[in-house]
Amino acid sequence: MSVFSLAGKTAAITGGGSGIGRAISVEFASQGAHVHILDLSAEGAQATAQEIESAGGQVTVHAVNVTNQAEVLAVFEAIGSLDILVNNAGIAHVGNLEKTTEADLDRIYNVNVKGAYNSLFAAVPKMKSKGGGVILNLASIAALVGIPDRFAYSMSKGAIHAMTLSVAKDYLKDNIRCNSISPARVHTPFVDGFISKNYPGQEEEMFQKLSATQPIGRMAKPEEIAQLALYLCSDAASFITGVDYPIDGGFTTLNN
C-alpha cells in the first residue's frame, strides 16, 4: 500500500465544489478516502461527486454555508467519525484599506475566518474522541508577504495562519496534526472570477500579469495543490505539525 494511501479514512473538505477543493476531493477519493464535500454550491459539489463516483470513489455531498455554525455542526454530526478536515472554502476581495467597506470586511471574515473556525469547532472534538486526526487549512501567500490591494483577504489568511498554530499547539497531546498551505495564484474559478469582476475588458492582460508574478512563470494547477494536501494529510507526513507550506512557484523567496 502507498504511504499516501487514505484507505479507510473519512475526510471532510469544505469548498470541494470548485477549484482547489475539487482537486483535493478527487485526489483524496482516488487514494481511498470517503470524501464528504461541504459546499454552499450544491451544483458544484454534485459535479465533483460525479467525477469521484465515476472513478469508483466514495463521496457524500452536504450543501452547507460554512458561516452558519448550527448548519456546520449538524453536518459534522451526520458525518460521524472523522479523520481528516480540509478547511478550503474561501472567497476573495480586491481592495486596499480605503476600498474595503465594513460589509466587505464582515463578508470576508465570515467565510474565510469564521467558516474555518466553525469546521474546526465541529471537527476537533470528534478527532479527540477518535484518538487523533489531521487538519489542513488553506492560507495564502497573502498571509506571508505584502500583496497590493488585498487588505481584507490578507487579514483573513493571516488569521488562518495563526489559527493553524494555535490548534496545532493545543491538540498535540490529542494526536491531532494541524498545518496550512499557502499557494500563490492557482488557476481556478476564484481567480477568473476576481479578474472579470475587477478588471473588465482587461481579462487576458491581467491573466498574463498575474501569471508572471510567479517567478516560475505561470499559475499553479489545482492538482499541484492537491498533491501537497495529500502528502500533509497522509501518514507520510506523520512528523509534521504547526507548519505553513508555501506552494508558490518562488513567489515569496525569488521575487527580488
Ligand X SMILES: NC(=O)c1ccc[n+]([C@@H]2O[C@H](COP(=O)([O-])OP(=O)(O)OC[C@H]3O[C@@H](n4cnc5c(N)ncnc54)[C@H](O)[C@@H]3O)[C@@H](O)[C@H]2O)c1
Q: Is the Cβ–Cβ distance between 190 and 153 less than 8 Å?
A: no
Q: Within positions 98 to 137, which residues make up the interface with ligand X, using CB under 6 A? A: 111, 115
* Beta-strand pair 84-87/34-39: unpaired
- 245 catalytic? Reply is no
Pick the catalytic residue: 117, 153, 171, 245?
A: 153
Among residues 6, 9, 15, 152, the one that binds ligand X under rule CB under 6 A: 15
Cell triple for 245: 507550506
Contact residue for ligand X among 25, 88, 179, 180 (CB under 6 A): 88
- Give 176 or 186: the residue with its C-beta nearer to ligand X: 186
| Residue 186 lies near ligand X (rule: CB under 6 A) | yes
Distance of closest approach, residue 229 Cβ to ligand X, in angstroms:
10
Q: Which residues of 128-163 are buried (b: 16+ CB within 10 A; e: fewer)?
A: eeeeebbbbbbbbbbbbbebeebbbbbbbbbbbbeb
- Region from 85-93, 118-126, 195-203, 236-244 binding ligand X, contact rule CB under 6 A: 85-93
| Phi and psi angles of residue 134, each rounded to the nearest 5 degrees, phi first | -130, 135
> CA torsion 89→92→96→101, rounded to 10°?
-80
Residue 237 makes contact with ligand X by CB under 6 A: no
67 in contact with ligand X (CB under 6 A): yes
For the CB of residue 213, give the shortest distance to ligand X in the complex, in Å. 11
Helix (H, G, I), strand (E, B) or coil at 84: strand
Using alpha carbons, select from 157, 166, 81 the residue that is nearest to residue 125. 81
- Determine, following the binding rule CB under 6 A, whether residue 183 of this chain makes contact with ligand X: yes
Instruction: List active site positions.
Output: 153
Residues forming contacts to ligand X in the complex (CB under 6 A) are 14-15, 17-21, 39-41, 44, 65-67, 88-91, 111, 115, 138, 140, 183, 185-186, 188-191
